[in-house]
């Protein structure tokens, strides 16, 4: 982690929002930042050149998926994930924990780690903090996440206590694995369910170990949005302000604005990419489903206020035709637009923070969507 650092450039005066820069061995990341998700070593048909054109500064890759296929040893043999997928900017890898814990009956948790069966071929595996680190290091991740348990919601307090303590012990095991002088940064993940005192305890446990950045985990797991915002509002200030703060798996455009307002620097979510594949598009005025018959002869672009490649060149009618015809170009173009929307949103947020107009930006954002706030 020799080259990893976070510089706080500007603190908003009205909110907890902050503008910063993360420096890594593979370049700088201007924050707040949204990270597109490239689960299996690709972001839904987008070429790396398109991702850069869109403004993606860093992408997220899934340890669980790449471990099962094609395997981290193979990726390492091929020169690491960056070379394998032709992406030379930073990559953050999750720990695999979230996917394993989503398997339900197919996994079993012990102090050692999580035993699970592969969804691909039924083969049996044991994911431990040490293996998760080995995988992420083999992939060549720039930002490694500790292996932890994402606690479901709701959960009993006893379960949350035990799980959070175990995750802290796992976090320490992860820290112990990372070689001194590694170019990879290691982030701790705060758990504690929706219990304030346990969140505080988790944040303290992690800071005692010491990490290059800190994330809030266990959010966006089915809880009310207001509860998620409360957890951010309480949880983010518990983290050191000279380190990047990341809320995992969040979220909608609204969630990003509210997360930033509460002091979050980094986000990731499958929403723009998954929605794109289902024909759901993000616009200045809210979401739209390109499948709808009303767009059959609509020659407007997806979002008349958007200046992305797709909105400059294609009509809603064409995108609907591509979608209805099952053409893969539908996914390519829809993903391009949605990710551009997310990147532009973050660029707008960063600009407003530099200019000291974030609260105004936030108000305008809701006004255009006719949303109360």
Footprint on this chain of its own copies (rule: CB under 8 A): 40-42, 44-47, 69-70, 74, 77-79, 84-86, 296-297, 299, 313-315, 317-318, 320-322, 324-325, 327-329, 331-332
Least Å from the CB of residue 276 to its own copies: 11
CA nearest 95: which of 262, 236, 217?
217
Smallest distance, its own copies to C-beta of residue 70, A: 4
Q: Residue 144: in which H helix or E strand, if any? A: strand 143-145
Q: Give the residue with the Cβ less far from its own copies, 182 or 315.
A: 315
Catalytic residue chosen out of the listed positions 12, 142, 148, 268: 268
Four-CA torsion 162, 195, 199, 215, nearest 10 degrees: 100
C-beta closer to its own copies: residue 248 or 276: 276
Q: Kindly tell me which of 117 and 315 has the beta carbon lying closer to its own copies.
A: 315
CB hemisphere CA count around 122 (13 angstroms): 0
Q: CA-CA distance, 160 to 129, in Å (whole number)? A: 19
Place of tokens 């302000």: 241
Closer of 172 and 321 to its own copies (Cβ): 321
Assign 152 to helix, strand or coil. Answer: coil
- Provide, rounded to whole angstroms, the least separation between the CB of residue 3 and its own copies: 25
Q: Tokens standing for 225?
A: 């949005």
Question: CA nearest 18: which of 7, 29, 2?
Answer: 7
Cα–Cα dist 270/250, whole Å: 9
Active site (annotated) includes residue 162 = no
Q: Residue 323 CB, nearest distance to its own copies (Å)?
A: 11
- Choice among 94, 142, 148, 303 that is catalytic: 94
Q: What's the min distance (Å) between Cβ of 342 and its own copies?
A: 20
Does residue 148 have an active-site annotation?
no
Q: Which residues pair with 43 in a beta bridge?
A: 46
Name which of 14 and 327 has its Cβ closer to its own copies.
327
Which residues are designated catalytic?
A: 94, 268
């Amino acid at each position: 982690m020799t080259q990893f650092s976070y510089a706080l450039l500007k603190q908003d005066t009205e909110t907890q929002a902050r503008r910063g820069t993360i420096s890594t061995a593979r370049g700088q990341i201007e924050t707040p930042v949204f990270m597109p998700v490239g689960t299996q070593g690709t972001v839904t048909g987008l070429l790396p050149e398109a991702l850069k054109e869109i403004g993606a500064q860093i992408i997220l890759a899934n340890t669980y998926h790449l471990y099962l296929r094609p395997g981290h040893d193979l990726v390492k043999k091929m020169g690491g994930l960056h070379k394998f997928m032709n992406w030379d900017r930073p990559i953050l890898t999750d720990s695999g924990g979230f996917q394993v814990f989503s398997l339900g009956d197919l996994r079993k948790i012990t102090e050692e780690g999580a035993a699970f069966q592969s969804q691909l071929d039924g083969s049996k595996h044991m994911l431990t903090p040490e293996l998760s680190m080995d995988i992420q290091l083999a992939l060549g991740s720039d930002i490694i996440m500790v292996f932890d348990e994402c606690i479901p919601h709701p959960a009993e307090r006893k379960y949350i206590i035990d799980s959070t303590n175990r995750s802290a012990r796992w976090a320490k095991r992860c820290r112990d694995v990372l070689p001194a002088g590694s170019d990879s940064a290691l982030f701790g993940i705060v758990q504690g369910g929706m219990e304030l005192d346990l969140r505080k305890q988790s944040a303290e446990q992690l800071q005692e170990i010491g990490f290059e950045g800190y994330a809030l985990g266990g959010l966006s797991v089915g809880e009310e949005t207001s509860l998620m915002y409360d957890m951010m509002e309480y949880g983010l200030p518990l983290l050191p302000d000279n380190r990047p703060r990341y809320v995992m798996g969040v979220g909608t455009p609204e969630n990003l604005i509210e997360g930033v307002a509460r002091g979050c620097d980094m986000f990731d979510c499958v929403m723009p990419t998954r929605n794109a594949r289902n024909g759901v598009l993000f616009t200045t005025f809210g979401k739209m489903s390109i499948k709808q018959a009303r767009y059959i002869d609509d020659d407007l672009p997806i979002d008349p206020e958007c200046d992305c490649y797709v909105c400059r060149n294609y009509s809603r009618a064409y995108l609907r035709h591509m979608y209805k015809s099952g053409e893969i170009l539908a996914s390519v173009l829809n993903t391009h637009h949605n990710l551009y929307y997310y990147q532009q949103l973050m660029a707008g947020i960063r600009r407003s923070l530099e200019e000291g107009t974030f609260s105004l930006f936030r108000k305008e954002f809701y006004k255009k969507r006719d949303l109360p706030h």
